A and B are shown apart, each in its own frame.
Chain A
Amino acid sequence: MSVSTATLHRVISETPAQTARHARVAAGLAELERWLGDQVRLGLGQAGDRDWDDLVKRLVDAQAPGAAGLVARLERVRAAAGWPGALLSEYALLNLLAVAYRRRAELPPSLARTVLTRVGFTTSRAEVLAEPHVVDRWLVLGVRDEPLDHVTARRVWLRGQATGRPALILTFTPAAHPMDETPPPGATLEAALAFYPAAAPLRALVVDLDGEEPPGFVLPPGAVEPGPHGAFPAPDGLRGGSSAAGLGSWAVSVEEALEEVAGAVAADPWTDAWPLLLDGVVPGRADLGGLPLCPVCHDPWRLIAVSGGGPVTVAVEWTPLGLRPLTVWDDDARPVPL
């Protein structure tokens, strides 16, 4: 490695333990780089599930769990139609990550931080809470639970009314434990968020009024109570009139959305999810307002039913594979989870 220790210290101050970890990660990612180079030299088709499994294990051993996670999903990439292009995309971005890690001293601090996060370095809560707090009225765009091995990951997608900023609250609950109560899609909450430092900040913690992050996702005082089964009454600002009018201060047009995504991808090329509230879009069976839906989201019948073929306001998660609809607001401005 040709990076001087002095340069590294300018990016992040390191303890001896961290220095030791960086040595292991560097070795692991250097191997990843060589392996990817071999794949492109010998042909994309020659690597199989077993190669990826081995690579995942070695990256985990090298303490680069983020990179390991990116390799672990290759199996699914290759199972889908059009896999050669998708696999090359994944390889290229993995290679980019390994190179960026190797040369992180040359990157602007926020991008260097993003690279470390993607590789698998965690950011402590204290560090996050030390970031500036963003106070806003946040609209809950959607909630999605994903069962992992021993925990359930819950993603709560938000957008701020005044700042227009997207946010992701990611919490993990042990599989056996009941999930914390989460405000349902369509609810709004007045809250201060602290964003994880990144080139395109998205993940955040909810900060309570004393400036400390509460355990789990607890509603700050004054926030509306969630109702059962998504039957959440529209907040005052959303009631009456067309949904587009009520949600106007959160929603963006398709063009604005694409511009925002372009900005996020430019800042963080590994961006794989970005929450948006689209205004006045008509859903089809494979697209939403002309933007493709991700393949598993095709035939979104509930969304189509609510739209009746007309324009609706829809919360979505942008992903490189296409949009994933989260919530649609019906004629009475009621949020309908999708």
Chain B
Amino acid sequence: MSGPGWEEMVSTALVGTARRLYRGELLGDAAVEVVRRRAGQVALDVRDRERADPEERAAVSWEAAERLGRILGGEHGRVLGEWLAVAAGSGRRVPPHVLPDLLERGRRDRSIRAWLGVLAGRRGRWLAGLNPAWAFLLDEPTGESWEYGSPADRRAHLRAVRAADPAAARELLEGTWERETPEDRAEFAEALGVGLSMADEPFLERALDDRRREVRQSAANLLAGLPDSRLAGRMARRAAACLTVSGGRVEVRPPLECDAAMERDGVRAKPPRGIGERAWWLQQVVARAPLRMWAEPRVMLGLRISDWDAEVKAGWVRAAVLQREAGWARAMFAHDPIADLLGVLPPEEQQELAAEFVKNQDMDSQLIMVLGGVEPPWGAGLAAAVLNKIATIAASQPWNLGELARLAGERVDPELHALAGQSGAAEVAEVLRFRAEMVKELGRKELGREELGRKELGRKELGREELGRKELGRENA
């Protein structure tokens, strides 16, 4: 075909044939050209595209992936974390077609990212390389080595080694400690919390002189959990200077100053707003002093404490948590029900104490906080107590039910869905049934502790904040 080309037709039509001469019938010619171009389309020459590496892990079943799609779509959205934890814990990955929705969720919700490193598989990392919005995935642990992995890989590696062989993990860390960035040192120091023993003491004592405050704080917290550590000894002497037991009374003289040695041992000089300096120092000294320096908790709590009662007891609460002393945790929980204390106790006892607490506690935020500290899965005893509470509240103040019902749906052992059905908590029963099917599809019975570790860490932080608020309230009172 000779004559005007398409571009010329378009530009002529744009200004109009009244102003620019066109030989022939423009609309007719254009129709021929349009059809010619549509019929004569050819494929562009696309160069070889980079391919994703083959996967190493098996994918979860199609049914499981399909359920994940529904959860991401909003059906029982709160169980997303459990789905991811169980799937990641089984060492599998998601099939590729779910990846865009999952990575898009990860982009908006940081809390699920830690699981995506494993679950997204190599296909996921390949996609993250194509779409900058998903680049966060490249920072999540994937199982690479200590020497060459990303910071997240190395943290995961260190945690894994520590769980299997604490001494090997410490030696690994000592080998590279001087070369690590301050951020990594802080993260790594915290990883020693698992399998902590006196063998770690010299290393941690040195870490008290680190340039980074977070490192010093982690080391101090860990050393406070070792009653035979030098730090514990120094704290014991400070505490003994503050508290004198005589004649059924405890005389309290809080520190007059926070000297450099105290700061080195992790005592923070500057109190949070609303707390007096001496009260703040006292509380921290008591919290870091070995609990075994006192008499039995039953005895100590029976004594009259002059003036500084609230600070001393807040210190013991914190000490019970830091030193993981079950006896003190039990006693302090009776005195002051705080979720953190439950974390020190074995799961069965957590649930017994919580069940007892639920029976006698009104529906309030403390009830939710305490139950939030009880690790899943909740067995029949606690489940029955909570379902009972739900039934009571449903009758008297149904508007107050939401959070408790949601928590029950997430934490109660899904195998107990029939129990929930009988108690009339239909919504809870439905979530439990959904979770039971989900766990079955993923081929594992329950959510292990390890997978929940990160989630729990988040909750602990919350618990500490709550502790802070309580301290503040007491100070004000």
A binds B: yes
Interface residue ranges, A against B (CB under 8 Å) = 36-37, 39-46, 84-85, 88-89, 91-93, 95-96, 99, 228-229, 231, 254-255, 258, 261-262, 265-266, 269, 271, 282, 284-285, 287, 289-292, 299, 301-302, 304-306, 308-310, 320, 328, 330, 332, 334, 336
Q: How far is the CB of B75 from chain A (nearest CB, A)?
A: 11
State in angstroms the CA–CA spacing of A231 and B62 once bound together: 8
Question: Which B residues lie within 8 Å of A40 (CB)?
Answer: 13, 16-17, 26-27
Flag if A261 contacts B41 (CB, 8 Å): yes
Question: Which B residues lie within 8 Å of A282 (CB)?
Answer: 46, 49
Q: Is B1 an interface residue (CB 8 A)?
A: no
Chain B residue at minimal CB-CB distance from A95 = B27
State in angstroms the CA–CA spacing of A332 and B10 once bound together: 48
Question: Which B residues lie within 8 Å of A336 (CB)?
Answer: 97
Q: How far is the CB of B6 from chain A (nearest CB, A)?
A: 7
Flag if A290 contacts B14 (CB, 8 Å): no
Q: Is B123 an interface residue (CB 8 A)?
A: yes
Q: What's the count of A-B pairs with C-beta under 8 Å?
A: 136
What is the 8 Å Cβ interface bit string for chain B, positions 40-59, against chain A (1 contact, 0 not)? 11111110011110000000
- Given the interface pairs A88-B13, A289-B43, the reply to whether A309 lies near B126 with Cβ below 8 Å is yes
10 residue pairs, one from A and one from B, having the closest CB atoms: A290-B43, A43-B16, A92-B30, A308-B52, A309-B51, A301-B100, A92-B31, A262-B39, A95-B27, A96-B31
Question: Which B residues lie within 8 Å of A287 (CB)?
Answer: 44, 46
Cβ-neighbour of B42 out of A258, A271, A328 (below 8 A): A258
Flag if A292 contacts B44 (CB, 8 Å): yes
Flag if A89 contacts B51 (CB, 8 Å): no
State in angstroms the CA–CA spacing of A304 and B100 once bound together: 9
Question: Which B residues lie within 8 Å of A309 (CB)?
Answer: 49-52, 126
Q: Is B19 an interface residue (CB 8 A)?
A: yes
State in angstroms the CA–CA spacing of A85 and B14 once bound together: 9
Flag if A95 contacts B28 (CB, 8 Å): yes
Q: How far is the CB of B8 from chain A (nearest CB, A)?
A: 11
Question: Which A residues lie within 8 Å of B31 (CB)?
Answer: 92-93, 95-96, 269
Question: Which A residues lie within 8 Å of B377 (CB)?
Answer: none
Flag if A43 contacts B45 (CB, 8 Å): no
**What are 30 inter-chain pairs, A to B, with CB distance below 8 A?**
A37-B27, A43-B13, A43-B16, A44-B14, A45-B14, A46-B16, A84-B13, A84-B14, A89-B30, A89-B34, A92-B31, A92-B33, A93-B34, A95-B27, A228-B66, A229-B66, A229-B69, A261-B39, A262-B39, A265-B38, A271-B38, A290-B45, A290-B46, A301-B99, A304-B127, A305-B99, A308-B52, A308-B123, A309-B52, A310-B52
Number of B interface residues in the complex (CB < 8 A): 47
Cβ-neighbour of B44 out of A290, A305, A310, A334 (below 8 A): A290
Chain A residue at minimal CB-CB distance from B120 = A305
Question: Which B residues lie within 8 Å of A96 (CB)?
Answer: 27-28, 31
State in angstroms the CA–CA spacing of A153 and B301 once bound together: 75
Question: Which A residues lie within 8 Å of B11 (CB)?
Answer: 84
Flag if A320 contacts B38 (CB, 8 Å): yes
Q: How far is the CB of B20 from chain A (nearest CB, A)?
A: 9
What is the 8 Å Cβ interface bit string for chain B, positions 180-202, against chain A (1 contact, 0 not)? 00000000000000000000000
What is the 8 Å Cβ interface bit string for chain B, positions 1-13, against chain A (1 contact, 0 not)? 0000010011101
State in angstroms the CA–CA spacing of A269 and B127 once bound together: 39
State in angstroms the CA–CA spacing of A41 and B15 once bound together: 8
State in angstroms the CA–CA spacing of A255 and B40 once bound together: 11
Flag if B62 contacts A84 (CB, 8 Å): no
Question: Which A residues lie within 8 Å of B126 (CB)?
Answer: 308-309
Q: Is B63 an interface residue (CB 8 A)?
A: yes
Q: Is B95 an interface residue (CB 8 A)?
A: yes
- Given the interface pairs A85-B6, A95-B27, A261-B39, the reply to whether A305 lies near B97 with Cβ below 8 Å is yes
Cβ-neighbour of A304 out of B19, B28, B62, B130 (below 8 A): B130
Task: Give the contacts of B91-140 with A (CB-CB under 8 A).
Answer: 95-97, 99-100, 123, 126-127, 130-131
* Besides A40-B13, A95-B28, A229-B70, 9 new A-B residue pairs in contact (Cβ under 8 A), listed by A number: A40-B16, A43-B19, A231-B63, A231-B66, A261-B39, A282-B46, A301-B131, A305-B100, A310-B51
Question: Which B residues lie within 8 Å of A271 (CB)?
Answer: 38
Flag if B15 contacts A43 (CB, 8 Å): yes
Task: Give the contacts of B174-227 with A (CB-CB under 8 A).
Answer: none
Q: Is B18 an interface residue (CB 8 A)?
A: yes
Chain A residue at minimal CB-CB distance from B104 = A301
Q: How far is the CB of A229 from chain B (nearest CB, A)?
A: 6
Chain A residue at minimal CB-CB distance from B40 = A262
State in angstroms the CA–CA spacing of A328 and B18 once bound together: 50
Question: Which A residues lie within 8 Å of B127 (CB)?
Answer: 301, 304-305
State in angstroms the CA–CA spacing of A228 and B33 once bound together: 45
Question: Which B residues lie within 8 Å of A36 (CB)?
Answer: 27
State in angstroms the CA–CA spacing of A202 and B44 once bound together: 27
Question: Which B residues lie within 8 Å of A46 (CB)?
Answer: 16
Flag if B42 contacts A269 (CB, 8 Å): no
Flag if B100 contacts A302 (CB, 8 Å): yes
Flag if B9 contacts A330 (CB, 8 Å): no
Flag if B70 contacts A84 (CB, 8 Å): no
State in angstroms the CA–CA spacing of A45 and B11 once bound together: 11
Question: Which A residues lie within 8 Å of B62 (CB)?
Answer: 231, 332, 334
Cβ-neighbour of B9 out of A88, A262, A292, A306 (below 8 A): A88
Chain B residue at minimal CB-CB distance from A100 = B31
Flag if A42 contacts B38 (CB, 8 Å): no
